């Protein structure tokens, strides 16, 4: 397996291809792929998803992917690392965006493929992708700031659509349960808001029944769900940020880095160091 690295912190390419000759590869960068025309199949982690004109995909780092082209396809690839934002002039708050959708990235494999449900949002995103390409050709003092701002706007829309798709799946068995998961994940670092009496009152469920209700729908207890949700974010931060273990533990309300390490090993069956090494070498 090839791990493809991005030499620049931001790149945008438009390519029209009739065959995909590149080998399946993993990334060390985020990638937005827009299908301007054509059709075929997108291959992600050994699964295939049909693509067509107008589709937009968000690919997190380290996903293995390639394309099988059925009809000649015009692709727009927007590739960027977290350092594109971290090294910016400060006008774009990447850290805020990353905190907002870090758990969405953690759930991404459950909802791969095109995830935009609103046609108006799709057109807005496509227009802004065209704008990024146009601005990327400029070299004036404003172009980088404009591109980074537009890019974050696109990511906000994609993040919301990913979240909504995930919640829709959770709502299939119980219309209220998906909203409970949304609330828990959006407040995952606020211990007070995740207490059973607070959750029960907010969602109008009996306090004595809430634990049973949650386990019935999630197949695990509330406490186990919360710790697993936190660890998925830990996994995301390990892969996509340069934060220390101590900083990650503090952000997610673990007692300390030792507590985090023990919880991670118990859940994943390996140390954080071994997990990190495996993620970047396979």
**What is the per-residue pLDDT across 61-112, written as a single tens digit (0 to 9) for each?**
766 778 899 999 999 999 887 666 554 444 445 555 566 556 556 655 555 6
Banded model confidence at residue 185, pLDDT cuts 50, 70, 90:
confident
pLDDT of residue 1: 44
Distance of CA 267 to the CA centre of its chain: 21
pLDDT of residue 263: 92
* pLDDT given at position 48: 83
Taking the C-alpha atoms of residue 175 and residue 205, their distance in angstroms, rounded to an integer, is: 13
Question: Is the predicted pLDDT of residue 225 greater than 70, yes or no?
Answer: yes
Average pLDDT over residues 50-57: 92
CA–CA gap between residue 45 and residue 65 (Å, rounded): 6
- Strand 25-27 and strand 30-44: the pairing is unpaired
Quote the pTM value: 0.69
Average pLDDT in the chain: 81
Q: What is the DSSP letter of 113?
A: S
Domains of the chain, start order:
2-169 (2.60.120.280), 177-281 (1.10.10.60)
Q: What is the pLDDT of residues 211-221, one digit of tens each?
A: 999 999 888 99
Burial grade of 99 (CB within 10 A; 0-12, 13-18, 19 or more): middle
What pLDDT shows up at residue 189? 85
Q: Return the structure tokens found at 180.
A: 């409970």
Measured CA to CA, the distance from residue 73 to residue 195 in angstroms comes to 50
């Amino acid at each position: 397996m090839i791990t493809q690295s991005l030499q620049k912190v931001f790149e945008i390419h438009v390519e029209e291809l009739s065959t995909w000759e590149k080998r399946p590869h993993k990334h060390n960068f985020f990638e937005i792929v827009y299908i301007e025309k054509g059709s075929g199949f997108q291959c992600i982690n050994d699964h295939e998803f049909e693509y067509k004109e107008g589709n937009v995909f968000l690919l997190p780092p380290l996903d293995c992917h390639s394309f099988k082209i059925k009809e000649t396809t015009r692709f727009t690839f927007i590739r960027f690392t977290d350092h594109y934002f971290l090294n910016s002039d400060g006008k774009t708050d990447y850290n805020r965006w990353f905190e907002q959708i870090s758990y969405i990235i953690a759930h991404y494999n459950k909802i791969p493929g095109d995830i935009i449900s609103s046609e108006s949002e799709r057109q807005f995103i496509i227009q802004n992708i065209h704008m990024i390409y146009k601005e990327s050709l400029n070299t004036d003092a404003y172009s980088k700031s404009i591109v980074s701002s537009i890019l974050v706007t696109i990511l906000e829309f994609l993040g919301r659509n990913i979240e909504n798709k995930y919640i829709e799946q959770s709502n299939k068995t119980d219309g209220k349960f998906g909203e409970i998961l949304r609330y828990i994940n959006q407040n995952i670092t606020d211990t007070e808001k995740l207490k059973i009496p607070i959750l029960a009152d907010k969602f109008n469920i009996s306090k004595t029944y809430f634990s049973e209700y949650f386990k019935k729908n999630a197949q695990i207890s509330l406490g186990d769900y919360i710790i697993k949700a936190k660890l998925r974010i830990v996994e995301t931060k390990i892969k996509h940020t340069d934060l220390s273990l101590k900083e990650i533990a503090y952000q997610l309300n673990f007692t300390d880095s030792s507590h985090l390490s023990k919880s991670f090993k118990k859940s994943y069956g390996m140390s954080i160091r071994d997990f990190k090494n495996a993620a970047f070498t396979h």
